Structure formats: structure tokens, C-alpha cells
A and B are shown apart, each in its own frame.
Chain A
């Protein structure tokens, strides 16, 4: 089946540092999404990207839809303790289809 390779698998950073994570795929996706999962909760949508090359921000978060449509990255600037959690990328080929998720990046922030 389709696979999304997400890296890094985990990061342990100091509060205030910037963070970058990315996802690559062997398949083309027409939509890329980034989710965050807090412990014991379901994933929550952070950013959705619909066009190749698109760069979208949501507060301290910035995500880009790769021009080849096979990759995406997420940056978090000036990290804070509440950024702790697992971040998942997800790709969708067409509207109404299932999402394929990456393996997740576990972010830990040291105050």
C-alpha cells in the first residue's frame, strides 16, 4: 500500500527553538495535511494544503506542499512546552478518499 515516510521519528528540543519535520511519498497526493495528537486524544488538524507549492501559516506553524506533490514539511517556530505531542502528516489523493498517514514525529520540549 501507499507509504508516507515521516522524519524525524522524535525530537527533543529546548523551549524557544525552531522545529522542522517532513514527509515524503513515492505517490502523488493532491492534498497534504498536518495533524497534532495530544496524549489520550484524537489527532487535531493543524494545517491543510491543497496546491503544489503552497505555503501556509497558522500562528507559529508553517507548512509547505512540495512542488512535486510527493512531499511536505512543517515548521514550528519558537517552540513552547504545549507544542509537545505527536505530529502526523497525511496525504489524500482525491476528495472523499481515505487519508494515508505518516508514522508521526514525537516532539518533546524542555522548558
Chain B
């Protein structure tokens, strides 16, 4: 158990629908990152939140949005779903960094989204 919890583990939904993916970061971590991994593809950065505020945005579609709540959990909302949105969605968290140490992320187990 990495300490990063993602729910649900699997999600099957129809095109045009909207879903919400949830992530609880590791205890003490303030940053949450969302990544998309399509079949046999690498990890594409979507968005980062730090202590409730958006910090960085990657190749995130306008149909997608996210937020981080005061208890630091985060939600990724995907709307008007298309077949091509089928992918693994990972959440990762990282600790506040001290001087000289960047630190890696800790990933959750992911949510596998299938759009039919």
C-alpha cells in the first residue's frame, strides 16, 4: 500500500457521460498530480495542485477539470466522455520539499476508465 488511495479502481461508462475520480494523498503530502496513461503509452501529465491551489497544467482537455479540497483530497472530473478517453488515470502525491531534495512522487494504483 503506497498510501495514496484512488477510487474507484475500475469504471465503465458510456460516451457522453461524466465521471469523477477521487484521490486521497499520502498523509502529510500537500501536492497532488494527475496523470493519464493510455494503452501501451507513457504517463501524460494533466494537472497539479498544491495545498488546494492549481500549480501547473499539462495537456489537460477542456472537458476535464480537477480540484483539491481543504482536506487535501483531489477529484478529477471528466465530462462528455469519448472512446479515446479510455485510459488508466493515476494520482500521485509528494511531500513538501526541503532544500536540496526534490523527492519523487508516490503513485496510487490508478483508476481504469473504459468508455463504451
Contacts and interface: CB of A to CB of B under 8 A. Distances in A.
Q: Decide whether A and B are members of one complex.
A: yes
Nearest to B96: A96
A19 to B, nearest CB: 19
A62 to B, nearest CB: 17
Mostly, the B contact residues are: loop
A1 B41 CA distance: 17
A101 B104 CA distance: 12
Interface residues on B, range: 20 to 34
A44 B50 CA distance: 21
Contact of A96 (B31, B59, B90, B106): B31
Contact of A50 (B56, B94, B100, B107): B100
Interface of A: 1, 30-31, 33, 35, 40-45, 48, 50, 88, 90, 92, 94-104
B109 to A, nearest CB: 5
A88 B102 contact: no
B113 interface: no
B102 A102 contact: no
B20 to A, nearest CB: 19
Given A96-B94, A98-B33, A45 B42 contact: no
Nearest to A92: B102
Given A41-B109, A95-B97, A100 B104 contact: no
Nearest 10 CB-CB pairings of A with B: A42-B107, A31-B102, A95-B97, A101-B43, A103-B42, A45-B104, A95-B102, A33-B104, A98-B45, A43-B107
